[in-house]
């Protein structure tokens, strides 16, 4: 373990709340995303001691009755934060109906095709269809975006590898992942990367972001490298300049998993919150194929 | 007087009161500030005194508009403007001043603030800043919503302050027409609950959600950074336009309507201003202007072709 990883791990352990979860910022109440990322980060550092066990208990206890996870216990609606919870829990050690319901919740969030009549109406108005098939929303019932779709691909991919879905949902996993990857490819920016994922309507010149480019590329493992040459170039171009932790971490994880050689401009970016600490620990450890492995299995 | 006449009398009285309410004029100041190097602290301090803003002993949250890492055009509220506002409130005895924002597209809020110059312009910035996307939240019901939303989870930092100060950039917006002090409140909606972007607000109706958010924060003051603004395909991809102005007031719809007139946009064509006017019984034409006249400072902002119909026409009577 590097000195930086050791220091970050100590910070993460100190930041754990008495209830077992983690806040985004200290002091604060426990939220789903930092707690699930903390579990992933600790596991990647081979630390599955008492802190990990307490964190896992917190996450399991906060699952909603509908199978999903809300962003925090104070929120009553399950959202795409379910994907990071499933990603953290689907390590093969746990095969319960509750986790299978989490997988189903994710599968049910996939946006379908916009109805034909609505498509025609929107085309007449000069607007892009609000929903593209295969993508997942941040919040149920809204449009799909890059980050929740990519996180869903990673979670469903890990669930498939760990065999935690119900028998009925097992067959839904691979087609859903494939459609989600198609959605990601359909939202590539002109420069070859990805931004938050808005349509090109009135934003055709919008540039890609490093963090979503890294995250999307991580979720596109299994797609032919020939299809990803422009995204690779765009991702590598971001690394020429120093990047925030989130961006650097997703880019590093993605390019490593795709077997690309990294040339990093900044060696030690500043972690601003718990999520940053976790992402940095994940990038430093590279948890490997088990956590962020090939998703499409095409 | 029998009961029938008494009833009719009450109705007439209520109608009269309603007309009086419709005539309520909210004060809006237009002040020249040619650049960010002029004495902005003194200018903002004078505005706050003129508007008799109760500041002493209050906790104040300054809410700038921070949307992107550096772009070719001014998309973010200038950090020097925010620093000057903080200093002006401090000089008038504010108990606590926090800067708070929750950007809608990017999650690295502090890195974005660093890139935009906030760390160097504002002393102890990180210590005095709250990332509203990650703040603790409270479920807030929306009474009589315009939008399809019945409630929102909102950050405790803005719910618990004594005064919320909206510090928007004067910009056109490719969905809402113009983004000013009311639209700036999209930034208080937490990304950790609703995502990046906060797409729930689009599905709930952009204009309707802007009007609903306005209703949830009755204690506001607005200081619009119109020193440099953005025209064309705002709020990110537009180009620079520099009216050299600060527009201020405690009634966001009146401040925004005034900004629209300066930008030569018809406020009656802006959906959220119409909705806010409907709720308050006022109209977008009811501001009491102080300082510069709109006629003297009007600065047409370029509009994308789809929004050319928003252009203020000469016979609108809005060039006072």
Tens of pLDDT, residues A260-294: 988 887 667 999 999 999 999 999 997 676 788 77
Closest CA to B146 of B67, B209, B94, B63: B209
Q: Does B143 touch chain A (CB under 8 A)?
A: no
The pTM score is 0.92
Burial of A9 (0-12, 13-18, 19+ CB in 10 A): buried
Q: Is the pLDDT of residue A244 over 90?
A: yes
Model confidence pLDDT, tens digit, residues B110-155: 999 999 999 999 999 999 999 999 999 999 999 999 999 999 999 9
Strands, E assignment, chain B? 26-32, 59-64, 96-101, 129-131, 137-141, 151-155, 163-167, 169-173, 177-179, 220-231, 239-241, 245-249, 287-291
Q: Classify domain B25-252 at the CATH class level.
A: alpha beta
Question: What percent of chain A lies above the pLDDT cut of 70?
Answer: 89
Model confidence over A9-60: pLDDT tens digits? Answer: 999 999 999 999 999 999 999 999 999 999 999 999 999 999 999 999 999 9
| Contact between chains at A72 and B192 (C-beta distance less than 8 A) | yes
* Whether A31 and B192 lie within 8 Å, measured CB to CB: yes
- Helix, strand or coil, per DSSP, at residue A229: helix
In tens, the pLDDT along B222-281 reads 999 999 999 999 999 899 999 999 999 999 999 999 999 999 999 999 999 999 988 776
Residues of A in contact with B200 (CB under 8 A): 139, 142
Which chain B residue lies closest to A78 (C-alpha atoms)?
B193
pLDDT at B11: 47
**Three-state SS at B243:** coil
Count CB-CB contacts under 10 A for residue A292. Answer: 23
User: Sign of dihedral through CA atoms A98, A104, A108, A109?
Assistant: positive
Q: Do A209 and B106 touch (CB under 8 A)?
A: yes
CB of A183 within 8 A of CB of A133?
A: yes
pLDDT, residue A93, reads 85
Task: Name the pLDDT band for A131 (thresholds 50, 70, 90).
Answer: low
DSSP state of B153: E
**Sequence-separated contacts (24+) of A204-211 with Cβ below 8 Å:** A205/B237, A206/B236, A206/B237, A208/A234, A209/A247, A209/B105, A209/B106, A210/A235, A210/A238, A210/A243, A210/A247, A210/A248, A210/A250, A210/A251, A211/A244, A211/A246, A211/A247, A211/A250, A211/A251, A211/B106, A211/B107, A211/B108
Is B192–A195 a contact, with Cβ atoms under 8 angstroms apart? no
Q: Say whether pLDDT at B12 is over 50.
A: no
Instruction: For residues A197 and A215, give the distance between their C-alpha atoms in angstroms, rounded to a whole number.
Output: 12
A234 within 8 A of A224, measured Cβ to Cβ: no
Question: Which of B106, B134, B203 is opposite residue A142, by nearest beta carbon?
Answer: B203
Average pLDDT over residues A89-96: 88
A191–chain B Cβ distance below 8 A for any pair: no
- Tell me which residues of chain B, numbers 109 to 128, contact chain A at a CB-CB cutoff of 8 Å: 109-111
Give the mean model confidence (pLDDT) for residues B202-210.
95
Res B282: pLDDT:
62
Which chain B residues are closer than 8 Å to A24 by Cβ? 134, 192
Would you say the ipTM is above 0.90?
Answer: yes
Closest chain B residue to A197 measured between Cα atoms?
A: B197
Report the DSSP beta bridge partners of residue B59: B96
| Cβ <8 Å between A202 and B174 | yes
Nearest CA to A198 among A259, A248, A257, A138?
Answer: A138
Domain assignments of chain B as residue spans, ordered by start? 25-252
pLDDT of residue B126: 96
* Position B1 pLDDT exceeds 50: no
Query: For position B35, what pLDDT does the model report?
Result: 98
Confidence check: pLDDT of B216 > 90? yes
- Does B17 have pLDDT greater than 50? no
For testing contact with chain B, the best of A17, A138, A243, A279 (most B CBs within 10 A): A138
Q: Give the pLDDT confidence of A148-186 residue by residue, as tens digits.
A: 999 999 999 999 999 999 999 999 999 999 999 999 999
């Amino acid at each position: 373990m590097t000195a930086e990883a050791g220091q970050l791990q100590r910070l993460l352990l100190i930041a754990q709340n008495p209830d077992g979860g983690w806040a985004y910022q200290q002091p604060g109440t426990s939220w789903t995303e930092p707690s699930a990322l903390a579990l992933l980060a600790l596991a990647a550092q081979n630390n599955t001691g008492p802190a990990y066990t307490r964190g896992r208990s917190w996450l399991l206890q906060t699952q909603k009755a509908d199978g999903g996870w809300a962003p925090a216990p104070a929120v009553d609606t399950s959202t795409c934060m379910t994907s990071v919870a499933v990603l953290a829990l689907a390590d093969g050690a746990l095969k319960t109906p509750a986790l299978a319901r989490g997988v189903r919740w994710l599968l049910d969030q996939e946006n379908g095709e916009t109805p034909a009549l609505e498509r025609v109406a929107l085309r007449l108005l000069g607007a892009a269809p609000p929903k593209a098939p295969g993508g997942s929303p941040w919040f149920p019932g809204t449009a799909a975006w890059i980050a929740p779709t990519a996180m869903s691909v990673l979670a469903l991919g890990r669930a498939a590898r760990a065999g935690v879905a119900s028998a009925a949902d097992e067959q839904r996993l691979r087609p859903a992942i494939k459609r989600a990857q198609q959605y990601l490819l359909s939202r590539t920016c002109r420069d070859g990367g990805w931004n938050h994922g808005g349509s090109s309507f009135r934003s055709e010149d919008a540039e890609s972001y490093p963090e979503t480019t890294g995250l999307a590329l991580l979720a596109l493992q299994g797609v032919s490298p020939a299809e990803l040459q422009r995204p690779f170039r765009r991702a590598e171009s971001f690394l020429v300049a120093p990047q925030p932790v989130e961006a650097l971490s997703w880019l590093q994880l993605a390019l490593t998993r795709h077997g690309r050689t990294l040339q990093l401009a900044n060696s030690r970016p500043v972690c601003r919150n718990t999520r940053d600490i976790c992402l940095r620990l994940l990038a430093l450890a590279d948890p490997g194929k088990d956590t962020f492995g090939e998703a499409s299995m095409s | 007087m029998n009961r029938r006449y008494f009833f009719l009398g009450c109705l007439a009285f209520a109608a009269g009161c309603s007309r009086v309410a419709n005539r309520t004029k909210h004060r809006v100041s237009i002040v020249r500030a040619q650049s960010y190097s002029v004495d902005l602290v003194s200018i903002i301090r004078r505005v706050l005194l003129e508007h008799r803003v109760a500041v002493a002993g209050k906790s104040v949250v300054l809410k700038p508009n921070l949307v992107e890492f550096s772009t070719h055009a001014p998309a973010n509220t200038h950090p020097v403007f925010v620093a000057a506002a903080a200093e002006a409130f401090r000089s008038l005895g504010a108990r606590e001043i926090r800067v708070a924002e929750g950007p809608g597209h990017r999650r690295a809020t502090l890195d974005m603030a660093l890139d935009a110059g906030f760390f160097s312009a504002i002393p102890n910035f990180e210590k005095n800043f709250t990332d509203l996307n990650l703040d603790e939240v409270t479920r807030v019901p929306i009474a009589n919503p315009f939008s399809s939303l019945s409630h929102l989870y909102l950050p405790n930092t803005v719910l618990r302050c004594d005064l919320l100060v909206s510090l928007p950039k004067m910009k056109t917006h490719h969905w809402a027409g113009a983004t000013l002090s009311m639209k700036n409140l999209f930034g208080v909606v937490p990304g950790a609950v609703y995502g990046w972007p906060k797409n729930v607000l689009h599905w709930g109706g952009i204009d309707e959600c802007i009007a609903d958010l306005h209703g949830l924060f009755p204690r506001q003051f607005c200081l619009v950074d119109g020193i440099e603004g953005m025209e064309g395909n705002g709020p990110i991809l537009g180009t620079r336009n520099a009216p050299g102005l600060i527009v201020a007031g405690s009634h966001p719809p009146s401040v925004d309507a005034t900004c629209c007139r300066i930008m030569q946009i018809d406020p009656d064509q802006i959906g959220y201003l119409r909705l806010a006017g409907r709720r308050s019984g006022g109209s977008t034409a009811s501001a009491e202007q102080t300082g510069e006249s709109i006629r003297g400072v009007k600065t047409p902002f370029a509009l994308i072709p789809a929004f050319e119909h928003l252009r203020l026409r000469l016979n609108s009577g809005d060039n006072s």
